[in-house]
Structure 1
Amino acid sequence: MPQAAAAKSSARRSALPDEESTTLDTAIAELQTGSRTWSHLTLDQRARLIGRVRAAVAAVAEEWAGVASASKGIEPGHPLAGEEWLSGPYATLVALDAYRDSLAALAQGESTLKSVKTDAAPGGRVRAHVFPLSAIDGMLLSGYTGEVWFEPGVTEADVRRDAGLAQLTPTESGGVGLVLGAGNVTSIPVLDVMYELIAHNRVAILKVNPTQDALVPVFERALAPLIEPGFLRIVRGGGDVGGYLAEHPGIAHVHITGAEPTFDAIVWGPSSGPAAAATTRRRREDRPKLKKPITAELGGVSPIIIVPGQWSAADLAFQAEHVATMRLYNSGHNCIAGQVVLLSADWPQREAFLAALRTALDAAPARPVWYPRSDEKLAAAASDYPDATWCGDGTRALVETVPGEAATAIETTEYFAPVLGVVSLPGNGQEFLDRAVAHANDELVGTLGANVLIDPVTQAALGDGFERAMADLHYGTVAINSWTAFGFLTPTLPWGGFPGATLQDVQSGLGVVHNALLLDHIERAVTRGPFRPFPRALEPKALNRSRGRSFSVLPKPPWFVSSRTGAAVSEGFTRFRIDGNFAKLAGTLAQAFRA
């Protein structure tokens, strides 16, 4: 059947009004023309186009952060408004810079890994040290590093040969892709569109999640350099629009950032109602309803492994605030919000840490729990755990399970709300760490991100055993003394679930995004941060050069929910990325020291 006729036939079968389906058909037809245009652009022209997108994003950055804050109930000047600068325009700008650098290098016949150090990782793996790659990155995010670990058996020659993905064959079109945008973090839809275009030579129709409808005018101006030549179309709508587009014959590929039930509905069909029996039969017979490729990032239940050591009172307070941030950032509406703390039942400081954690959860600034149906998630947690402690304004649940007691609900339900669990396991040292890794792999739903907090002395004592345990964690991002959100924020790192998921068992998704160096054969990202902030990073124990040392000049990262100056610093970092004004940056850094 000719494509236009197929589209009309699809429209007739759709529950959408004829006018709406015709509008969508027209958008896809325009994108098909745009895909041919894209295939004729040189790499240098693509790099310059990304530069124009960057300028457009910079022009709307303040409005972007303001609209995003307002849509989440955060008033102007609120201490947490910085989250919308960091996870919106900042994340987008640094990604655009990284994509432009990769395209420019490829245009000159160079590898995207030209200046990147590689070495060996545990288990016969090669790894690339991809952050920081500039002095600016090292200064703004002092003490943080990022690595890409490749699949076992992949050689350095394989990695360097295949770096570039679709830009190694720039004239081969990937067709038109559908991006079903996330509703929680405002940079995600934009970054997913950019990855489709750069990694796959695929132009895109972006269906914005209804929670971000207010940002559509901002997105249209920010991405005008892609919209004008037919490389992007942005549409609104609910599940009916997404379903129509996913089934459209003009769509070559689907990418979704969302929840597993939505993924399953697209791939297999509805799980309830009259069509549920047909869905069950398709799954049993392994006959997906969706007849085209799909990639996805779907979240999960992220562990926070606390390796027991000898911590000072300041260590306990700082890391408790770190854990609270992992749960409370964006009101817990994050796919990699830490949800289950794995704690040693035998750690002498266990109760002291839990007391510090309760204090941190109570002290964090009040904010709306804004994501749709969050009230249902909080009610479910209250029902699952009637003895939970409700902290702060009564919207933050701390679930402390009894050692040895089953914790099924907290480990298998992604609450996507301010619900934090504590599960205790026996042991100390390597015994505890190995048990916690196995527990996270086997009992917690999802494979997107895992967090590990360990003091430098304990890490040095564990030696190779620690790195081996990190290799055994089956997660797409492993964050050591950092939060997996740092991996999300770093464009040269890949973002996605651990390899091995299938349509039948999708876990935290299929494929990766971000990955601005355009690397193939990826297994995971590993981030490392400072256990102690400045000035305690200067203490003699932290200065020893054994494994586990990480020096930082940041008194407190600006994304900590407890940072008094997080909003000013996050805005300042974004403005510096826009204009490179070092004089203004000095003021921002002064604010950082007041955090």
Structure 2
Amino acid sequence: MGTTFDESAIDDALHELTEGEKVWAQTPLRRRRELLDDIHTRTGRFADDWVRAARTIKGLDENSPLVGEEWMSGPLTLLQAVAALSATLTALEEGRSPLDGVTTQDAPGGRVAVPILPLSGYDKLLLSGFRGEVWLRPGVDADTARRRAGLAQLDPTATGGIGVVLGAGNITSIPPLDALYELYAHNRVVMLKLNPITDPLYTVFEMVFAPLCSLGVLRIVTGGAETGNYLVHHADVAHVHMTGSANTHDTIVWGPGPEGLERKKDNRPLLDKPITSELGGVSPTIVVPGDWSDADLKYQAEHVATQRLHNGGYNCVAAQAIVVSKDWALKDRFLAELRVALAAAPQRTAYYPGSDARVADALTSYPAAEQLGSGRVLVDQLPLSDTPLLRTEYFSPVLGVVELPYAGGEFLQHAVDFANTELTGTLGANVLADPATIRTLGIGFDRAIERLRYGAIAVNTWTGLAFLAPRASWGAFPGHTLDDVQSGIGVVHNAFLLDDVERTVVYGPFRPAPRSVLRGEFALSPKPPWFVDNATAATTGRRLTEFYASGNPAKIPGIFVSALRG
């Protein structure tokens, strides 16, 4: 389908999906699993084409280490997702719960935690020192979690009509992952509309998803706002899922302009069907004061720079507000290292539409802001409330620093309060704390993590890891509504197909190997390949993709050689 609006072609595609829903209802679990396995094979086959198209979209030189981002957040992410979903279908096909063999744990507040990382020997080897778990909502016990795991695949004959997925324009695996979640978590056949930015991937996605397209349960279309508007309001469409901004969400739900604002005020939605969404926000990174070495300061500054600059800053979960203790003796040295890291990170094209205008808006709001490298803005000593950077997702390389006048555990508790009450959105929050400080804080640290109202929380890693981990849930903290949508409603990914999800929490090593081992931390991972200054990220990303495509353990030594050189 072309990029221009073609009403008759869309109607034809929706009619085909109506027929496809009947086929999907009759498709047994075994065949559904085989489709996933076929998609896995095809993803590996077309991975080079995928990354080549992504490079074109983002203006990356083929020899740039930044191409590693496209391997890891593109085909590699999809490979792991379909493999994990296939394992869930295998369990259901055999009459087992997807959680059989998984030992649930206790999480703070009487919650049940489902481990999602590491689950295999390869996880332990390739992500040494990293772990993750999905926390279920309070009151859900382990037996209930096991019984409900599988969602719509517990009754595959009960289909849910046609779901429209409005694809994201930034991370290239988002559209296919969201389409798969509609099909497998909700039993809805899917009309996937690509964001115009990602139109060069149309052919790649059609080749990867040919098995689902041939079955008649997936159609992929391109087009602009007119196409999207026609789809979401079409009588044949039962559900909408979107990734984007809260403004776009409100335009869909309430309508554009003053009329839409009036509808929202009067609670008269224009959209007459359910909608789920992932909308980003202002993500914090809380830096807990501690006795950090010079190497720690430098490494964690590079870590924060990655949290902001990965994919050029065009991530819904990119860090935007750094929260530090005004009384931390090392604060100034840390911020000096952060300035160095932001300026030294590889330069790249501002490919996402409107980026330059948003950066200009930030500079207008904060005329004293520092410009570090091309288009990168650092705003120091932000006001603690009622300031644009805390309310507006800039979706560009704009980073602010907030200083709170507390120390130790008191700082952490106030930082959590600040993140919960002063920042727009609840998608992801990061916490950096050295192991000695975590031990000293004890239950106070655990309580702080529990109190953070975010859908993904990362301790000594970046919430981007929760996006990459296939069994992690991905979405806002529960409780948002159409008229106060914040970071969205619902979750995706979640390859265990868990019900009653509250959040995902991931943990990483505070120091990379070998310093981690020398300091008594059992973590063998070097600098992660998603760091923006990782010199071998492209090679490591490609080799990881090749390994997860083939499953050939002979490829692992090459991964380590590349990773250690990064």
- Per the normalisation by structure 2, the TM-score is 0.98
Question: Aligned to 1:577, which of 548, 561, 565?
Answer: 548
Query: Equivalent residue for 2:380?
Result: 400
Query: Equivalent residue for 2:42?
Result: 56
The alignment status of 1:311 with 2:282, answered yes or no, reads no
The alignment status of 1:99 with 2:85, answered yes or no, reads yes
Query: Equivalent residue for 2:191?
Result: 205
Query: Equivalent residue for 1:473?
Result: 452
Q: Given that residues 302 and 339 in structure 1 are in contact (C-alpha distance below 8 angstroms), is that contact kept between their aligned partners in structure 2?
A: yes
Which secondary structure state, in structure 2, belongs to the residue aligned with residue 303 of structure 1?
Answer: strand
1:584 Cα offset (Å): 2.8
The alignment status of 1:345 with 2:331, answered yes or no, reads no
- The whole-number CA distance in structure 1 between the counterparts of 2:475 and 2:509 is 24
Listed one character per residue, the Cα deviations across residues 515-550 of structure 1 (whole Å, up to 9, x for unaligned) are 00000011000000000110011124x34xxxxxxx
Range 470-479 or range 110-119, more displaced: 110-119
Relative to structure 1, the CA distance from residue 500 to residue 406 in structure 2 (aligned partners, 3 Å threshold; closer, same or farther) is closer
1:434 Cα offset (Å): 0.4
Relative to structure 1, the CA distance from residue 405 to residue 519 in structure 2 (aligned partners, 3 Å threshold; closer, same or farther) is closer
1:406 Cα offset (Å): 4.6
Query: Equivalent residue for 2:279?
Result: 298
Relative to structure 1, the CA distance from residue 405 to residue 97 in structure 2 (aligned partners, 3 Å threshold; closer, same or farther) is closer
1:142 Cα offset (Å): 1.5
- The whole-number CA distance in structure 1 between the counterparts of 2:241 and 2:282 is 21
Query: Equivalent residue for 1:386?
Result: 367
- The whole-number CA distance in structure 1 between the counterparts of 2:45 and 2:541 is 17
- The whole-number CA distance in structure 2 between the counterparts of 1:583 and 1:539 is 29
Q: Given that residues 68 and 215 in structure 1 are in contact (C-alpha distance below 8 angstroms), is that contact kept between their aligned partners in structure 2?
A: yes
Amino acid at match of 1:206: L
State the 4+ residue runs in structure 1 displaced beyond 4 angstroms: 404-407
- The whole-number CA distance in structure 2 between the counterparts of 1:116 and 1:526 is 17
Question: Aligned to 2:539, which of 543, 568, 573?
Answer: 568
Query: Equivalent residue for 2:313?
Result: 332
Query: Equivalent residue for 2:138?
Result: 152
Amino acid at match of 2:355: S
- The whole-number CA distance in structure 1 between the counterparts of 2:340 and 2:114 is 39
Question: Aligned to 1:216, which of 193, 196, 202?
Answer: 202
Query: Equivalent residue for 1:448?
Result: 427
Listed one character per residue, the Cα deviations across residues 28-50 of structure 1 (whole Å, up to 9, x for unaligned) are 01001111101111111110111
Query: Equivalent residue for 2:496?
Result: 517
- The whole-number CA distance in structure 1 between the counterparts of 2:59 and 2:523 is 33
1:479 Cα offset (Å): 0.4
Listed one character per residue, the Cα deviations across residues 176-215 of structure 1 (whole Å, up to 9, x for unaligned) are 1000000001000000000000000111001100000111
Which secondary structure state, in structure 1, belongs to the residue aligned with residue 269 of structure 2?
Answer: coil
Amino acid at match of 2:288: V
The alignment status of 1:358 with 2:339, answered yes or no, reads yes
The alignment status of 1:322 with 2:308, answered yes or no, reads no
Query: Equivalent residue for 1:257?
Result: 243
Q: Given that residues 113 and 160 in structure 1 are in contact (C-alpha distance below 8 angstroms), is that contact kept between their aligned partners in structure 2?
A: yes
1:175 Cα offset (Å): 0.9
- The whole-number CA distance in structure 1 between the counterparts of 2:315 and 2:105 is 32
Which secondary structure state, in structure 1, belongs to the residue aligned with residue 323 of structure 2?
Answer: strand
> What is the root-mean-square deviation of aligned Cα atoms in Å?
1.2
Which secondary structure state, in structure 2, belongs to the residue aligned with residue 178 of structure 1?
Answer: strand
Q: Give structure 2 stretches of 5+ with no counterpart.
A: none
Matches within 5 A, 1:524-543: 524-540=503-519, 542-543=520-521
Amino acid at match of 1:284: K
Amino acid at match of 2:455: G
- The whole-number CA distance in structure 1 between the counterparts of 2:98 and 2:441 is 35
Q: Given that residues 401 and 407 in structure 1 are in contact (C-alpha distance below 8 angstroms), is that contact kept between their aligned partners in structure 2?
A: no
1:494 Cα offset (Å): 0.4
Q: Given that residues 356 and 375 in structure 2 are in contact (C-alpha distance below 8 angstroms), is that contact kept between their aligned partners in structure 1?
A: no
Amino acid at match of 1:397: V
Matches within 5 A, 1:89-128: 89-128=75-114
Listed one character per residue, the Cα deviations across residues 378-409 of structure 1 (whole Å, up to 9, x for unaligned) are 100110111111112x311111025x665611
1:285 Cα offset (Å): 2.5
Amino acid at match of 1:510: I
- The whole-number CA distance in structure 1 between the counterparts of 2:323 and 2:175 is 32
1:70 Cα offset (Å): 1.8
Query: Equivalent residue for 1:173?
Result: 159
The alignment status of 1:284 with 2:265, answered yes or no, reads yes
- The whole-number CA distance in structure 2 between the counterparts of 1:219 and 1:346 is 51
Listed one character per residue, the Cα deviations across residues 108-142 of structure 1 (whole Å, up to 9, x for unaligned) are 01111112121211112111111111111121111
- The whole-number CA distance in structure 2 between the counterparts of 1:281 and 1:570 is 48
1:154 Cα offset (Å): 1.2
The alignment status of 1:495 with 2:474, answered yes or no, reads yes
Q: Given that residues 385 and 422 in structure 2 are in contact (C-alpha distance below 8 angstroms), is that contact kept between their aligned partners in structure 1?
A: no
The alignment status of 1:79 with 2:35, answered yes or no, reads no
Which secondary structure state, in structure 2, belongs to the residue aligned with residue 323 of structure 1?
Answer: helix
> How many pairs does the alignment contain?
564
- The whole-number CA distance in structure 2 between the counterparts of 1:103 and 1:538 is 39
- The whole-number CA distance in structure 2 between the counterparts of 1:140 and 1:82 is 16
Amino acid at match of 2:369: A
1:242 Cα offset (Å): 0.5
Q: Given that residues 305 and 342 in structure 1 are in contact (C-alpha distance below 8 angstroms), is that contact kept between their aligned partners in structure 2?
A: yes
Relative to structure 1, the CA distance from residue 577 to residue 30 in structure 2 (aligned partners, 3 Å threshold; closer, same or farther) is same
1:335 Cα offset (Å): 0.2
- The whole-number CA distance in structure 2 between the counterparts of 1:70 and 1:244 is 29
Q: Given that residues 43 and 549 in structure 2 are in contact (C-alpha distance below 8 angstroms), is that contact kept between their aligned partners in structure 1?
A: no
1:552 Cα offset (Å): 2.0
Amino acid at match of 2:380: E
Q: Given that residues 473 and 492 in structure 2 are in contact (C-alpha distance below 8 angstroms), is that contact kept between their aligned partners in structure 1?
A: yes
Q: Given that residues 407 and 423 in structure 1 are in contact (C-alpha distance below 8 angstroms), is that contact kept between their aligned partners in structure 2?
A: no
1:583 Cα offset (Å): 2.6
- Per the normalisation by structure 1, the TM-score is 0.93
Listed one character per residue, the Cα deviations across residues 349-377 of structure 1 (whole Å, up to 9, x for unaligned) are 00010011011111111111110011101
1:453 Cα offset (Å): 0.3
Listed one character per residue, the Cα deviations across residues 86-110 of structure 1 (whole Å, up to 9, x for unaligned) are 0100000000000100001100011
Question: Aligned to 2:400, which of 409, 418, 421?
Answer: 421
- The whole-number CA distance in structure 2 between the counterparts of 1:92 and 1:439 is 35
- The whole-number CA distance in structure 2 between the counterparts of 1:568 and 1:281 is 52
Q: Given that residues 88 and 495 in structure 2 are in contact (C-alpha distance below 8 angstroms), is that contact kept between their aligned partners in structure 1?
A: yes
- The whole-number CA distance in structure 1 between the counterparts of 2:368 and 2:265 is 40
Query: Equivalent residue for 2:486?
Result: 507
Query: Equivalent residue for 1:11?
Result: none
